Amino acid sequence: MTPEDRFTERYRQGSAPWDIGKADDNLVHAVTTLPIPPCKALDIGCGTGDNAIWLSHEKFDVVGVDASEIAIEKAKGKAAKANVTATFAVLDILKSHVEGAPFGFAFDRGCFHTLDSATERKTFAKQVSRHLEEKGLWLTLIGNADEKRVGPGPPQRSARDVVNAVEPYFEILSLASGHFGSNRPDPPRAWICLMRKRRVET
């Protein structure tokens, strides 16, 4: 079973703990306090669309992409119910180009950390960079390997994993330890990484 099939099956079964029914607190905090002004935004691995819908309410022009067809169908339904304009597409960003680029802001909640190899993570970072305008921002939330966890949870990556993947293409503005937005009383720890696209890709 491919990763895409596994995610689709989790959505179908209603067993998707990352699908929390609201925008992630880390995204809300970053956009409202930095602030990040409204612009064309790309939500990578958008799931059922809660973060994209929140960004749309904040006047961003949003494109959400996900490899799961069932997630995208749910996202379209949620957006229609919320009466917001957002574009959703079934797409694997490692393999495809997103229509509408370049974007001023990209958000990724738990997509980067699903990639097991350093080569794939670096390719992911390069692809995000290619979709951003000069000095575009990328906010990513990544399972944190410093958490000694018992039981299931998001894949975990070290700070070195993050830096090694993104450094050729992005300037890291902040890399902080925090927690994913969650409905659980003990939300999993996350790296919260905000980056700016470098002027020259190497």
pLDDT tens for 105-141 read: 999 999 999 999 999 999 999 999 999 999 999 999 9
pTM here? 0.91
In a domain, 85, yes or no: yes
In a domain, 69, yes or no: yes
HEC-encoded secondary structure of 115-179:
CCCHHHHHHHHHHHHHCEEEEEEEEEEEEECCCCCCCCCCCCECHHHHHHHHCCCEEEEEEEEEE
Q: Which 3 state secondary structure label does DSSP give 82? A: helix
In a domain, 7, yes or no: yes
d(CA 113, CA 120): 10
What sign does the CA torsion over 8, 9, 13, 19 have? negative
In a domain, 126, yes or no: yes
Mean pLDDT of 87-107: 96
- What CATH number does residue 56 fall under? 3.40.50.150
**How many distinct structural domains can be found in the chain?**
1
In a domain, 73, yes or no: yes
Domain that holds residue 133: 3-197
Q: What is the DSSP letter of 194?
A: E
d(CA 198, CA 151): 38
Please answer whether residues 52 and 64 qualify as being in contact, where contact means their C-beta atoms are separated by less than 8 angstroms.
yes
Q: What is the mean pLDDT of the chain?
A: 92
In a domain, 93, yes or no: yes
Q: What is the pLDDT of residues 26-68, one digit of tens each?
A: 999 999 999 999 999 999 999 999 999 999 999 999 999 999 9
In a domain, 202, yes or no: no
